[in-house]
Amino acid sequence: MTMKGPSRKHVIIPMSNDNNMKFMKNSSMHVANINRALRNVKSKVLVDFIRSDSLDITAVTNKVSLQSDLQIIKQYIKNSNNINTLQVEVLYLSQSKSYLKIIDILYFPHGNNQDCLTSSDMESIIKQNQIFDNITLTSKLQVIKVLPKLDMSIIWINIWNVQSGSRAKELINQCFNIERYIVTIKGANMNSGVL
């Protein structure tokens, strides 16, 4: 299911939590510096404010940013002090959220009842899999055990999508491996446990 997300005036800048905290300490200075850089190239776009989410920073602008405006914002962030540029991903304009779930996966994939599957495990698996190239998560993954006596889980995923929903459509019914298991991606309604 795809739902309308933030306005196109929101520039999403995915980055690590550590970078996020460092960048937000001087957010008003960053807004002023980004706006100075935008004015220098005669852009009509200005950043109103920057806010922090769990997986990214959002710069809210007065108008919809052009590709050239995104490049200026990206260049400023990449040149910022105290930011690990390897942990800053491609920035983009938001449009909508899509909700997906991964099914057919064991809750204890290693065979023992001690090491359950975690959202961190799943994030690293997703980052390594080519079917998730150009996919950005909107929130942390959530791993849920299906039933107390059953060793199966569902992983809820929220992704940023284009208005047509084509990114989610490309993922739905795709299969991929997690260790020796084949799992499937399905469409889902919004899960109240995943924001």
Q: Which domains does the chain have, with CATH numbers?
A: 2-93 (3.30.70), 96-187 (3.30.70.330)
The predicted model gives 95-106 an average pLDDT of: 86
Rounded distance between C-alpha atoms, residue 170 and residue 176, angstroms? 13
Round to whole Å and give the CA distance between 171 and 165. Answer: 10
Q: Is the pTM of this model over 0.75?
A: no
pLDDT at 53 over 80: no
**Arithmetic mean of pLDDT over the chain:** 84
108-151 pLDDT, tens digit each: 877 777 788 888 888 888 888 999 887 888 888 899 988 888 88
The strand pair at 152-161 and 92-93 is best described as unpaired
pLDDT of residue 156: 92
Residue 44 has pLDDT above 90, yes or no: yes
What is the DSSP code (8-state) at residue 18?
A: H
pLDDT at 2: 47
For residues 31-61, one letter each, b for 16 or more C-beta atoms within 10 angstroms of the residue's C-beta and e for the rest, the string is beebbebbeeeebebebeebeeeebbbbbeb
d(CA 38, CA 70): 10
